[in-house]
A = this chain, B = another copy of it.
Amino acid sequence: MKQSMTLIPTLREIPADAEITSHQLLLRAGYIRQNASGVYSYLPLGKKVLRKIEEIIREEMDHAGAVELLMPALQQAELWQESGRWQTYGSELMRLNDRHGRDFALGATHEEVITSIIRDEVKSYKKLPLVFYQIQNKFRDEKRPRFGLLRGREFMMKDAYSFNATQESLDEVYDRIFTAYSNIFTRCGLDFRAVIADSGAMGGKDTHEFMVLSDVGEDTIAYSDTSNYAANVEMAPVITSYEKMDEPEQELTQVHTPNIKTIDEVSAFLNVESSNCIKSLLFKVDEEYVLVLVRGDHDVNDIKVKNVLDASVVELATPEETKSVLGCTIGSVGPIDLDEVTVLADHAVASITNGVCGANKEDYHFINVNPKRDFPVATFEDLRFIQEGDPSPDGEGIIQFAKGIEVGHVFKLGSRYSDAMKATYLDENGRSQTMLMGSYGIGVSRTLAAVVEQFNDEKGIVWPTNLAPFQVHLIPINIKNEDQKTVGNDLYNELKSQRFDVLMDDRQERPGVKFADSDLIGIPVRITVGKKASEGIVEVKNRKTGEVFEVNKEEIVDLLQKML
Protein backbone atom coordinates (compact mmCIF):
# COMPACT_ATOMS: atom_id res chain seq x y z
CA MET A 1 0.00 0.00 0.00
CA LYS A 2 1.29 3.42 -0.92
CA GLN A 3 0.79 5.94 1.82
CA SER A 4 -0.58 8.50 -0.62
CA MET A 5 -3.52 6.22 -1.34
CA THR A 6 -4.65 5.73 2.23
CA LEU A 7 -5.60 7.90 5.18
CA ILE A 8 -3.23 7.97 8.16
CA PRO A 9 -3.96 11.31 9.80
CA THR A 10 -1.21 11.50 12.43
CA LEU A 11 -1.32 14.18 15.10
CA ARG A 12 1.61 15.88 16.85
CA GLU A 13 -0.43 16.97 19.85
CA ILE A 14 -2.03 14.69 22.40
CA PRO A 15 -5.79 15.13 22.00
CA ALA A 16 -7.13 16.90 25.06
CA ASP A 17 -9.82 14.41 25.99
CA ALA A 18 -7.70 11.27 25.64
CA GLU A 19 -6.63 10.25 29.15
CA ILE A 20 -4.93 6.92 28.62
CA THR A 21 -2.08 5.78 26.40
CA SER A 22 -4.02 3.57 24.00
CA HIS A 23 -6.63 6.23 23.36
CA GLN A 24 -3.96 8.88 22.79
CA LEU A 25 -1.84 6.72 20.51
CA LEU A 26 -4.68 5.31 18.44
CA LEU A 27 -5.86 8.87 17.78
CA ARG A 28 -2.37 10.31 17.25
CA ALA A 29 -1.24 7.51 14.94
CA GLY A 30 -4.41 7.82 12.86
CA TYR A 31 -5.97 4.43 13.67
CA ILE A 32 -9.33 5.72 14.88
CA ARG A 33 -11.50 8.81 14.97
CA GLN A 34 -14.41 9.54 17.24
CA ASN A 35 -17.80 10.10 15.58
CA ALA A 36 -19.84 10.55 18.75
CA SER A 37 -19.25 9.95 22.43
CA GLY A 38 -18.16 6.32 22.70
CA VAL A 39 -18.62 5.77 18.96
CA TYR A 40 -15.59 5.40 16.70
CA SER A 41 -14.56 4.85 13.11
CA TYR A 42 -11.68 2.50 12.48
CA LEU A 43 -9.55 4.21 9.86
CA PRO A 44 -7.59 2.00 7.45
CA LEU A 45 -4.77 1.12 9.88
CA GLY A 46 -7.22 0.43 12.70
CA LYS A 47 -9.39 -1.73 10.48
CA LYS A 48 -6.36 -3.77 9.38
CA VAL A 49 -5.35 -4.56 12.95
CA LEU A 50 -8.95 -5.35 13.83
CA ARG A 51 -9.08 -7.87 10.99
CA LYS A 52 -5.90 -9.53 12.19
CA ILE A 53 -7.37 -9.95 15.65
CA GLU A 54 -10.59 -11.25 14.09
CA GLU A 55 -8.68 -13.85 12.08
CA ILE A 56 -6.84 -15.12 15.15
CA ILE A 57 -10.17 -15.40 16.94
CA ARG A 58 -11.75 -17.25 14.01
CA GLU A 59 -8.91 -19.73 13.77
CA GLU A 60 -8.97 -20.55 17.47
CA MET A 61 -12.76 -20.68 17.73
CA ASP A 62 -12.98 -22.94 14.68
CA HIS A 63 -10.26 -25.10 16.18
CA ALA A 64 -12.30 -25.35 19.39
CA GLY A 65 -15.24 -26.69 17.39
CA ALA A 66 -17.32 -23.53 17.43
CA VAL A 67 -19.20 -22.61 14.26
CA GLU A 68 -19.56 -19.07 12.96
CA LEU A 69 -22.90 -17.53 12.20
CA LEU A 70 -24.21 -13.98 12.12
CA MET A 71 -27.26 -12.70 13.94
CA PRO A 72 -28.86 -9.29 13.44
CA ALA A 73 -28.38 -6.16 15.53
CA LEU A 74 -32.12 -5.47 15.38
CA GLN A 75 -33.81 -7.58 18.01
CA GLN A 76 -37.51 -7.76 18.74
CA ALA A 77 -38.49 -6.58 22.20
CA GLU A 78 -40.62 -9.71 22.63
CA LEU A 79 -37.47 -11.83 22.99
CA TRP A 80 -36.07 -9.60 25.72
CA GLN A 81 -39.42 -9.63 27.45
CA GLU A 82 -39.36 -13.43 27.47
CA SER A 83 -35.97 -13.47 29.18
CA GLY A 84 -36.99 -10.66 31.49
CA ARG A 85 -34.10 -8.44 30.42
CA TRP A 86 -36.29 -5.87 28.65
CA GLN A 87 -36.95 -4.60 32.17
CA THR A 88 -33.71 -5.42 33.96
CA TYR A 89 -31.13 -4.34 31.40
CA GLY A 90 -31.99 -0.73 32.04
CA SER A 91 -30.88 2.25 30.02
CA GLU A 92 -27.75 0.54 28.74
CA LEU A 93 -29.95 -1.28 26.24
CA MET A 94 -30.52 0.95 23.22
CA ARG A 95 -34.13 0.83 22.09
CA LEU A 96 -36.01 2.02 19.06
CA ASN A 97 -39.30 1.71 17.22
CA ASP A 98 -39.77 0.64 13.65
CA ARG A 99 -42.13 2.49 11.29
CA HIS A 100 -45.03 0.47 12.64
CA GLY A 101 -44.21 1.45 16.21
CA ARG A 102 -42.90 -1.98 17.19
CA ASP A 103 -40.26 -2.08 19.92
CA PHE A 104 -36.76 -3.22 19.08
CA ALA A 105 -33.48 -3.43 20.98
CA LEU A 106 -30.07 -2.99 19.40
CA GLY A 107 -28.05 -6.09 20.17
CA ALA A 108 -26.06 -5.56 23.37
CA THR A 109 -25.59 -9.32 23.45
CA HIS A 110 -27.38 -12.20 21.75
CA GLU A 111 -28.47 -14.78 24.33
CA GLU A 112 -32.12 -14.19 23.50
CA VAL A 113 -31.73 -14.39 19.72
CA ILE A 114 -29.61 -17.53 19.68
CA THR A 115 -31.86 -19.23 22.22
CA SER A 116 -34.93 -18.44 20.13
CA ILE A 117 -33.24 -19.96 17.06
CA ILE A 118 -32.04 -23.09 18.83
CA ARG A 119 -35.30 -23.85 20.62
CA ASP A 120 -37.01 -23.86 17.23
CA GLU A 121 -34.41 -25.93 15.38
CA VAL A 122 -32.96 -28.38 17.89
CA LYS A 123 -35.21 -30.92 19.52
CA SER A 124 -33.06 -33.93 20.29
CA TYR A 125 -30.08 -34.72 22.50
CA LYS A 126 -28.48 -36.20 19.36
CA LYS A 127 -27.91 -32.69 17.99
CA LEU A 128 -26.16 -31.43 21.13
CA PRO A 129 -23.69 -30.03 22.03
CA LEU A 130 -23.61 -27.06 19.67
CA VAL A 131 -21.31 -24.06 19.92
CA PHE A 132 -21.79 -20.90 17.85
CA TYR A 133 -19.90 -17.65 17.58
CA GLN A 134 -20.17 -14.39 15.71
CA ILE A 135 -18.09 -11.25 15.32
CA GLN A 136 -20.12 -8.10 15.17
CA ASN A 137 -20.65 -4.60 16.51
CA LYS A 138 -22.57 -4.44 19.75
CA PHE A 139 -24.44 -1.50 21.27
CA ARG A 140 -24.47 -0.54 24.93
CA ASP A 141 -25.41 2.93 26.01
CA GLU A 142 -22.70 3.35 28.66
CA LYS A 143 -23.45 6.04 31.19
CA ARG A 144 -19.91 7.37 30.93
CA PRO A 145 -18.15 6.24 27.74
CA ARG A 146 -14.42 6.68 28.26
CA PHE A 147 -10.89 5.57 27.55
CA GLY A 148 -11.37 5.40 23.78
CA LEU A 149 -12.02 1.86 22.64
CA LEU A 150 -11.94 0.49 26.19
CA ARG A 151 -15.45 1.61 27.06
CA GLY A 152 -17.48 2.59 24.03
CA ARG A 153 -21.13 2.53 23.14
CA GLU A 154 -20.70 0.75 19.80
CA PHE A 155 -17.88 -1.76 19.90
CA MET A 156 -16.80 -4.94 18.21
CA MET A 157 -17.34 -8.17 20.05
CA LYS A 158 -16.93 -11.85 19.45
CA ASP A 159 -19.72 -13.55 21.31
CA ALA A 160 -20.28 -17.28 21.52
CA TYR A 161 -22.97 -19.52 22.94
CA SER A 162 -23.05 -23.21 23.72
CA PHE A 163 -26.02 -25.51 24.10
CA ASN A 164 -25.45 -28.67 26.07
CA ALA A 165 -27.47 -31.62 27.25
CA THR A 166 -25.47 -32.30 30.43
CA GLN A 167 -23.32 -30.47 32.93
CA GLU A 168 -20.32 -32.62 31.90
CA SER A 169 -20.82 -31.54 28.32
CA LEU A 170 -21.05 -27.88 29.37
CA ASP A 171 -17.89 -28.27 31.46
CA GLU A 172 -16.09 -29.83 28.50
CA VAL A 173 -17.11 -27.07 26.07
CA TYR A 174 -16.23 -24.44 28.66
CA ASP A 175 -12.75 -25.89 28.97
CA ARG A 176 -12.32 -25.94 25.20
CA ILE A 177 -13.35 -22.30 24.88
CA PHE A 178 -11.16 -21.42 27.86
CA THR A 179 -8.19 -22.93 26.01
CA ALA A 180 -9.14 -21.13 22.80
CA TYR A 181 -9.24 -17.81 24.68
CA SER A 182 -5.85 -18.47 26.24
CA ASN A 183 -4.49 -19.18 22.75
CA ILE A 184 -6.08 -16.05 21.30
CA PHE A 185 -4.68 -13.66 23.88
CA THR A 186 -1.30 -15.40 23.79
CA ARG A 187 -1.19 -14.99 20.02
CA CYS A 188 -2.05 -11.31 20.47
CA GLY A 189 1.11 -11.07 22.56
CA LEU A 190 -0.77 -9.99 25.66
CA ASP A 191 0.30 -10.36 29.27
CA PHE A 192 -3.00 -11.59 30.69
CA ARG A 193 -4.48 -13.77 33.39
CA ALA A 194 -7.57 -15.95 33.32
CA VAL A 195 -9.17 -14.72 36.48
CA ILE A 196 -11.71 -16.54 38.64
CA ALA A 197 -14.71 -14.29 38.69
CA ASP A 198 -17.51 -16.33 40.12
CA SER A 199 -19.90 -14.18 42.06
CA GLY A 200 -21.89 -17.17 43.25
CA ALA A 201 -20.10 -20.11 44.83
CA MET A 202 -16.72 -19.18 46.31
CA GLY A 203 -13.76 -20.25 44.25
CA GLY A 204 -16.06 -21.94 41.77
CA LYS A 205 -15.07 -22.58 38.21
CA ASP A 206 -18.22 -21.30 36.59
CA THR A 207 -16.89 -18.05 35.25
CA HIS A 208 -13.53 -16.62 34.33
CA GLU A 209 -12.57 -13.21 33.11
CA PHE A 210 -9.55 -12.82 30.87
CA MET A 211 -7.73 -9.78 32.15
CA VAL A 212 -4.91 -7.95 30.44
CA LEU A 213 -2.55 -6.60 33.08
CA SER A 214 -2.51 -2.83 32.85
CA ASP A 215 -2.46 0.11 35.19
CA VAL A 216 -5.45 1.59 33.41
CA GLY A 217 -7.55 -1.48 34.16
CA GLU A 218 -10.63 -0.98 36.28
CA ASP A 219 -10.45 -4.32 38.13
CA THR A 220 -7.95 -5.60 40.71
CA ILE A 221 -6.55 -9.07 40.17
CA ALA A 222 -4.89 -11.22 42.81
CA TYR A 223 -2.44 -13.55 41.12
CA SER A 224 0.28 -15.97 42.09
CA ASP A 225 3.86 -14.99 41.41
CA THR A 226 4.71 -18.53 40.35
CA SER A 227 1.57 -20.40 39.21
CA ASN A 228 -1.33 -19.64 36.84
CA TYR A 229 -3.63 -18.80 39.70
CA ALA A 230 -5.50 -15.53 39.36
CA ALA A 231 -8.77 -14.27 40.69
CA ASN A 232 -10.74 -11.11 40.89
CA VAL A 233 -9.66 -9.78 44.26
CA GLU A 234 -13.13 -10.34 45.75
CA MET A 235 -13.05 -13.98 44.72
CA ALA A 236 -9.72 -15.21 46.08
CA PRO A 237 -9.98 -17.45 49.14
CA VAL A 238 -7.37 -16.91 51.87
CA ILE A 239 -5.46 -20.03 52.92
CA THR A 240 -2.99 -18.34 55.26
CA SER A 241 -2.41 -20.27 58.47
CA TYR A 242 -1.92 -18.12 61.55
CA GLU A 243 0.17 -18.96 64.56
CA LYS A 244 -1.08 -18.02 67.96
CA MET A 245 1.49 -16.01 69.91
CA ASP A 246 3.11 -17.98 72.70
CA GLU A 247 2.41 -15.63 75.62
CA PRO A 248 0.26 -15.94 78.71
CA GLU A 249 -3.26 -14.51 78.56
CA GLN A 250 -3.59 -11.34 80.62
CA GLU A 251 -6.66 -10.04 82.36
CA LEU A 252 -9.28 -8.30 80.23
CA THR A 253 -9.15 -4.58 81.03
CA GLN A 254 -11.17 -1.60 79.86
CA VAL A 255 -9.05 1.46 79.09
CA HIS A 256 -9.94 5.08 78.40
CA THR A 257 -9.18 6.02 74.77
CA PRO A 258 -10.47 9.57 74.31
CA ASN A 259 -11.34 10.35 70.66
CA ILE A 260 -9.64 7.18 69.42
CA LYS A 261 -11.67 5.64 66.59
CA THR A 262 -9.70 3.99 63.83
CA ILE A 263 -7.40 1.02 63.99
CA ASP A 264 -4.45 3.28 63.19
CA GLU A 265 -5.35 5.58 66.08
CA VAL A 266 -5.85 2.67 68.49
CA SER A 267 -2.61 1.07 67.39
CA ALA A 268 -0.66 4.29 67.93
CA PHE A 269 -2.37 5.32 71.16
CA LEU A 270 -2.01 1.92 72.85
CA ASN A 271 1.29 1.06 71.14
CA VAL A 272 0.08 -2.27 69.74
CA GLU A 273 0.46 -3.78 66.29
CA SER A 274 -2.63 -3.33 64.15
CA SER A 275 -2.47 -7.09 63.62
CA ASN A 276 -3.25 -7.45 67.33
CA CYS A 277 -6.31 -5.25 67.07
CA ILE A 278 -9.74 -6.69 66.30
CA LYS A 279 -11.66 -4.81 63.63
CA SER A 280 -15.38 -5.17 64.33
CA LEU A 281 -17.96 -4.30 61.67
CA LEU A 282 -21.71 -4.50 62.11
CA PHE A 283 -23.54 -5.75 59.01
CA LYS A 284 -27.21 -5.91 58.21
CA VAL A 285 -27.71 -9.33 56.67
CA ASP A 286 -31.19 -9.93 55.26
CA GLU A 287 -32.74 -7.80 58.07
CA GLU A 288 -30.64 -9.38 60.84
CA TYR A 289 -27.55 -7.86 62.41
CA VAL A 290 -24.24 -9.74 62.39
CA LEU A 291 -20.91 -8.56 63.81
CA VAL A 292 -17.97 -9.52 61.64
CA LEU A 293 -14.44 -9.53 63.07
CA VAL A 294 -11.18 -9.39 61.16
CA ARG A 295 -7.68 -8.52 62.20
CA GLY A 296 -6.88 -4.80 62.25
CA ASP A 297 -4.58 -5.10 59.25
CA HIS A 298 -7.21 -6.97 57.21
CA ASP A 299 -10.38 -5.92 55.39
CA VAL A 300 -13.77 -7.61 55.46
CA ASN A 301 -14.85 -9.07 52.10
CA ASP A 302 -18.61 -8.74 52.18
CA ILE A 303 -19.04 -11.20 49.31
CA LYS A 304 -17.47 -13.84 51.54
CA VAL A 305 -19.81 -12.85 54.38
CA LYS A 306 -22.74 -13.16 52.03
CA ASN A 307 -21.64 -16.59 50.83
CA VAL A 308 -20.88 -17.91 54.31
CA LEU A 309 -24.33 -16.87 55.52
CA ASP A 310 -26.01 -17.83 52.24
CA ALA A 311 -27.60 -14.40 52.34
CA SER A 312 -29.27 -12.31 49.68
CA VAL A 313 -28.27 -8.84 50.83
CA VAL A 314 -25.30 -7.86 52.98
CA GLU A 315 -24.85 -4.19 53.81
CA LEU A 316 -22.78 -2.35 56.38
CA ALA A 317 -25.04 -1.02 59.13
CA THR A 318 -25.57 2.74 59.07
CA PRO A 319 -24.36 4.85 62.04
CA GLU A 320 -27.98 5.14 63.12
CA GLU A 321 -28.51 1.39 63.02
CA THR A 322 -25.24 0.83 64.89
CA LYS A 323 -26.27 3.27 67.59
CA SER A 324 -29.63 1.62 68.01
CA VAL A 325 -28.26 -1.95 68.09
CA LEU A 326 -25.02 -1.49 70.01
CA GLY A 327 -25.52 1.89 71.64
CA CYS A 328 -22.29 3.39 70.32
CA THR A 329 -20.66 4.91 67.24
CA ILE A 330 -19.01 2.81 64.56
CA GLY A 331 -15.51 3.53 65.91
CA SER A 332 -16.25 1.94 69.28
CA VAL A 333 -17.88 -1.31 68.18
CA GLY A 334 -16.57 -4.53 69.72
CA PRO A 335 -17.63 -8.18 70.32
CA ILE A 336 -17.71 -8.26 74.12
CA ASP A 337 -20.92 -8.50 76.13
CA LEU A 338 -23.28 -8.75 73.19
CA ASP A 339 -26.57 -10.47 73.67
CA GLU A 340 -28.53 -10.65 70.47
CA VAL A 341 -25.93 -10.16 67.77
CA THR A 342 -24.24 -13.14 66.15
CA VAL A 343 -20.44 -12.82 65.93
CA LEU A 344 -18.56 -14.16 62.94
CA ALA A 345 -14.80 -13.99 62.83
CA ASP A 346 -12.11 -14.45 60.27
CA HIS A 347 -9.67 -17.29 60.94
CA ALA A 348 -6.91 -14.77 61.71
CA VAL A 349 -8.83 -13.47 64.72
CA ALA A 350 -8.54 -16.86 66.45
CA SER A 351 -4.78 -16.43 66.80
CA ILE A 352 -4.95 -13.06 68.52
CA THR A 353 -3.65 -13.13 72.09
CA ASN A 354 -4.11 -10.19 74.44
CA GLY A 355 -5.52 -8.08 71.66
CA VAL A 356 -7.49 -4.84 71.54
CA CYS A 357 -11.13 -4.20 70.60
CA GLY A 358 -13.84 -1.56 70.98
CA ALA A 359 -15.92 -1.57 74.17
CA ASN A 360 -19.29 -0.56 72.62
CA LYS A 361 -18.88 2.55 74.75
CA GLU A 362 -17.72 5.95 73.56
CA ASP A 363 -13.95 6.57 74.19
CA TYR A 364 -13.24 3.14 75.67
CA HIS A 365 -11.48 0.04 74.37
CA PHE A 366 -10.63 -3.31 75.88
CA ILE A 367 -7.04 -4.55 76.06
CA ASN A 368 -5.86 -8.10 76.75
CA VAL A 369 -8.76 -9.42 74.72
CA ASN A 370 -8.68 -13.13 74.06
CA PRO A 371 -11.29 -14.45 71.61
CA LYS A 372 -13.44 -17.31 72.85
CA ARG A 373 -12.31 -16.58 76.44
CA ASP A 374 -13.82 -13.07 76.38
CA PHE A 375 -16.62 -13.46 73.84
CA PRO A 376 -18.26 -16.28 71.93
CA VAL A 377 -17.75 -16.66 68.18
CA ALA A 378 -20.43 -18.45 66.20
CA THR A 379 -17.92 -19.58 63.61
CA PHE A 380 -14.47 -18.79 62.30
CA GLU A 381 -14.44 -18.47 58.51
CA ASP A 382 -12.49 -17.01 55.62
CA LEU A 383 -14.01 -13.53 55.66
CA ARG A 384 -11.32 -11.15 54.58
CA PHE A 385 -9.90 -9.85 51.31
CA ILE A 386 -6.75 -11.54 50.18
CA GLN A 387 -3.67 -9.29 50.37
CA GLU A 388 -0.39 -9.03 48.55
CA GLY A 389 2.02 -11.39 50.29
CA ASP A 390 -0.63 -13.95 51.20
CA PRO A 391 0.05 -17.46 49.94
CA SER A 392 -1.65 -18.21 46.65
CA PRO A 393 -4.88 -20.18 47.16
CA ASP A 394 -3.61 -22.94 44.89
CA GLY A 395 -0.70 -23.46 47.26
CA GLU A 396 1.91 -22.27 44.77
CA GLY A 397 3.64 -18.95 45.24
CA ILE A 398 2.73 -15.67 46.79
CA ILE A 399 -0.16 -13.37 45.86
CA GLN A 400 0.53 -10.15 44.04
CA PHE A 401 -1.96 -7.56 42.84
CA ALA A 402 -2.37 -6.02 39.43
CA LYS A 403 -4.94 -3.93 37.61
CA GLY A 404 -6.64 -5.62 34.68
CA ILE A 405 -8.57 -4.76 31.54
CA GLU A 406 -11.27 -7.35 30.94
CA VAL A 407 -10.92 -8.56 27.35
CA GLY A 408 -12.75 -11.86 27.62
CA HIS A 409 -15.33 -13.59 29.73
CA VAL A 410 -16.44 -17.22 29.82
CA PHE A 411 -19.57 -18.01 31.74
CA LYS A 412 -21.66 -21.08 32.49
CA LEU A 413 -25.18 -19.72 32.15
CA GLY A 414 -26.76 -23.03 33.01
CA SER A 415 -30.51 -22.84 32.42
CA ARG A 416 -30.89 -19.09 33.03
CA TYR A 417 -32.13 -18.43 29.46
CA SER A 418 -33.24 -21.88 28.40
CA ASP A 419 -35.66 -22.01 31.33
CA ALA A 420 -37.10 -18.58 30.71
CA MET A 421 -37.36 -19.14 26.95
CA LYS A 422 -38.28 -22.83 27.04
CA ALA A 423 -35.34 -24.23 25.11
CA THR A 424 -35.79 -27.93 25.69
CA TYR A 425 -34.75 -31.18 24.05
CA LEU A 426 -35.78 -34.80 24.30
CA ASP A 427 -33.23 -37.01 26.03
CA GLU A 428 -32.42 -40.67 25.24
CA ASN A 429 -35.56 -41.72 27.06
CA GLY A 430 -37.79 -39.30 25.22
CA ARG A 431 -38.12 -37.03 28.22
CA SER A 432 -38.14 -33.27 27.81
CA GLN A 433 -35.11 -31.59 29.43
CA THR A 434 -33.95 -28.00 29.62
CA MET A 435 -30.79 -27.23 27.69
CA LEU A 436 -27.74 -25.93 29.55
CA MET A 437 -25.99 -22.94 28.07
CA GLY A 438 -22.65 -21.21 28.18
CA SER A 439 -21.81 -17.69 27.02
CA TYR A 440 -18.34 -16.65 25.92
CA GLY A 441 -17.33 -13.10 24.93
CA ILE A 442 -14.27 -11.29 23.67
CA GLY A 443 -14.11 -7.54 23.27
CA VAL A 444 -12.41 -7.33 19.90
CA SER A 445 -11.97 -3.57 19.73
CA ARG A 446 -11.09 -3.52 23.43
CA THR A 447 -8.41 -6.14 22.79
CA LEU A 448 -6.96 -3.85 20.15
CA ALA A 449 -6.72 -1.04 22.73
CA ALA A 450 -5.31 -3.41 25.36
CA VAL A 451 -2.53 -4.45 22.98
CA VAL A 452 -1.62 -0.79 22.48
CA GLU A 453 -1.58 -0.29 26.26
CA GLN A 454 1.04 -3.03 26.51
CA PHE A 455 3.01 -2.34 23.34
CA ASN A 456 4.23 1.21 23.14
CA ASP A 457 7.15 3.44 23.97
CA GLU A 458 7.68 7.18 24.18
CA LYS A 459 7.67 7.45 20.37
CA GLY A 460 4.46 5.58 19.68
CA ILE A 461 2.98 2.15 19.19
CA VAL A 462 5.29 -0.90 18.94
CA TRP A 463 3.12 -3.60 17.37
CA PRO A 464 3.73 -7.28 17.97
CA THR A 465 4.56 -8.71 14.56
CA ASN A 466 1.38 -10.68 13.98
CA LEU A 467 -0.97 -7.80 14.72
CA ALA A 468 0.90 -4.98 12.98
CA PRO A 469 -1.12 -3.32 10.22
CA PHE A 470 1.87 -3.80 7.92
CA GLN A 471 5.07 -5.79 8.33
CA VAL A 472 7.39 -3.32 6.68
CA HIS A 473 7.41 0.47 6.48
CA LEU A 474 9.44 1.44 3.42
CA ILE A 475 10.58 5.06 3.43
CA PRO A 476 12.33 6.67 0.51
CA ILE A 477 13.61 9.83 2.19
CA ASN A 478 13.37 12.04 -0.85
CA ILE A 479 11.02 10.86 -3.54
CA LYS A 480 12.31 13.58 -5.89
CA ASN A 481 15.71 11.88 -5.89
CA GLU A 482 15.74 9.49 -8.85
CA ASP A 483 17.95 6.85 -7.20
CA GLN A 484 15.89 6.80 -4.04
CA LYS A 485 12.67 6.71 -5.99
CA THR A 486 13.84 3.83 -8.19
CA VAL A 487 15.31 1.78 -5.37
CA GLY A 488 12.19 2.46 -3.29
CA ASN A 489 9.81 1.38 -6.04
CA ASP A 490 11.89 -1.68 -6.92
CA LEU A 491 12.03 -2.78 -3.29
CA TYR A 492 8.31 -2.15 -2.89
CA ASN A 493 7.49 -4.34 -5.85
CA GLU A 494 9.94 -7.05 -4.88
CA LEU A 495 8.73 -7.23 -1.28
CA LYS A 496 5.11 -7.32 -2.42
CA SER A 497 5.93 -10.14 -4.84
CA GLN A 498 7.52 -12.00 -1.91
CA ARG A 499 4.20 -11.55 -0.05
CA PHE A 500 5.46 -9.07 2.51
CA ASP A 501 2.82 -6.58 3.56
CA VAL A 502 4.49 -3.23 2.89
CA LEU A 503 3.47 0.36 3.49
CA MET A 504 5.54 2.74 1.36
CA ASP A 505 5.76 6.37 2.44
CA ASP A 506 5.63 7.98 -1.00
CA ARG A 507 4.66 11.34 0.44
CA GLN A 508 6.69 14.44 -0.25
CA GLU A 509 7.40 15.24 3.38
CA ARG A 510 10.50 16.13 5.39
CA PRO A 511 12.50 13.13 6.68
CA GLY A 512 11.76 14.15 10.30
CA VAL A 513 8.03 14.02 9.64
CA LYS A 514 8.32 10.66 7.93
CA PHE A 515 10.36 9.13 10.74
CA ALA A 516 8.18 10.52 13.50
CA ASP A 517 5.06 9.22 11.75
CA SER A 518 6.70 5.86 11.26
CA ASP A 519 7.63 5.53 14.94
CA LEU A 520 4.14 6.61 15.93
CA ILE A 521 2.44 4.08 13.63
CA GLY A 522 4.68 1.34 14.96
CA ILE A 523 5.26 -1.06 12.08
CA PRO A 524 7.87 -3.65 13.21
CA VAL A 525 10.49 -3.09 10.47
CA ARG A 526 11.43 0.19 8.84
CA ILE A 527 13.48 0.30 5.66
CA THR A 528 14.92 3.71 4.86
CA VAL A 529 16.07 4.42 1.33
CA GLY A 530 18.47 7.34 1.62
CA LYS A 531 21.73 8.71 0.25
CA LYS A 532 23.34 5.32 -0.25
CA ALA A 533 20.52 4.21 -2.52
CA SER A 534 22.80 4.77 -5.49
CA GLU A 535 25.17 2.17 -4.03
CA GLY A 536 22.26 -0.20 -3.46
CA ILE A 537 22.47 0.18 0.30
CA VAL A 538 19.46 0.82 2.54
CA GLU A 539 18.95 1.08 6.28
CA VAL A 540 16.84 -1.41 8.20
CA LYS A 541 15.56 -0.51 11.65
CA ASN A 542 13.87 -2.73 14.21
CA ARG A 543 11.08 -0.63 15.72
CA LYS A 544 11.13 -2.54 18.97
CA THR A 545 14.84 -2.76 19.74
CA GLY A 546 15.94 0.31 17.85
CA GLU A 547 18.69 -1.74 16.17
CA VAL A 548 19.81 -0.36 12.82
CA PHE A 549 21.57 -2.25 10.01
CA GLU A 550 22.93 -1.04 6.73
CA VAL A 551 22.01 -3.69 4.22
CA ASN A 552 22.63 -4.31 0.58
CA LYS A 553 19.22 -4.34 -1.03
CA GLU A 554 19.80 -7.85 -2.39
CA GLU A 555 19.97 -9.12 1.18
CA ILE A 556 16.75 -7.52 2.36
CA VAL A 557 14.44 -10.46 1.78
CA ASP A 558 16.65 -12.81 3.79
CA LEU A 559 16.94 -10.32 6.61
CA LEU A 560 13.19 -9.71 6.74
CA GLN A 561 12.50 -13.41 6.85
CA LYS A 562 14.69 -13.58 9.93
CA MET A 563 13.18 -10.52 11.57
CA LEU A 564 9.48 -11.28 10.97
For residue A49, give the distance in angstroms from its CB to the closest CB of chain B. Answer: 11
8 Å CB contact of A76 from B5, B35, B72, B122: B35
Docked complex Cα distance between A192 and B345 (Å): 79
A9 to B42, CA, bound (A): 36
Residue A94 at the B interface, CB < 8 A?
A: yes
By a CB distance below 8 angstroms, the chain B residues around A42 are 69-71
| A319 interface residue (CB < 8 Å to B) | no
B contact residues around A9 at 8 Å (CB) = 121
> Which applies to chain A's interface (DSSP): helix, strand, loop or mixed?
mixed
A486 at interface, CB cutoff 8 A: no
**What residues of B have a CB within 8 angstroms of the CB of A507 in the complex?**
126
Q: Please give, as numbers and ranges, the residues of chain B lying within 8 Å of A67 by CB-CB distance.
A: 1, 5-7, 44
Which residues, 1 to 52 on A, are CB-close (under 8 Å) to B? Answer: 1, 4-7, 9, 33, 35-36, 39-44, 46-48, 50-51
B68 touches A47 (CB 8 A): yes
Judge whether A154 and B72 touch: CB under 8 Å.
Answer: yes
Q: What is the 8 Å Cβ interface bit string for chain A, positions 91-116, against chain B (1 contact, 0 not)?
A: 11011101100001010000001001
In the complex, per-residue mask of A110-131: 1 if CB is within 8 Å of any chain B CB, else 0: 0001001110111000110011
What's the tally of chain A residues with a CB closer than 8 Å to chain B?
61
Please state if B76 and A47 are interface contacts (CB–CB under 8 Å): no
Q: Is the beta-carbon distance between B65 and A43 smaller than 8 angstroms?
A: no
Which residues of the partner chain B approach A65 to less than 8 Å between Cβ atoms?
A: 5
A137, CB-defined interface residue at 8 Å: yes
A41 is contacted by which of B6, B43, B70, B96 (Cβ under 8 Å)? B70
Residues from chain B with Cβ under 8 Å of A106 in the complex: 96, 106
- Per-residue contact bits, chain A 198-225, to B (CB 8 Å; 1 contact, 0 not): 0000000000000000000000000000
Residue pair A72, B35 in contact (C-beta under 8 Å): yes
B50-A70 in contact (CB<8A): yes
* Given contacts A36-B76, A94-B98, A141-B99, A41 and B7 within 8 Å (CB-CB): no
27 sample A-B contacts, Cβ–Cβ < 8 Å, listed by A number: A1-B67, A5-B65, A5-B131, A7-B69, A7-B121, A9-B121, A33-B117, A35-B72, A35-B75, A35-B117, A40-B72, A41-B117, A42-B69, A42-B70, A42-B71, A44-B67, A44-B132, A46-B69, A47-B68, A47-B69, A51-B68, A72-B137, A73-B137, A74-B154, A98-B141, A99-B141, A99-B143
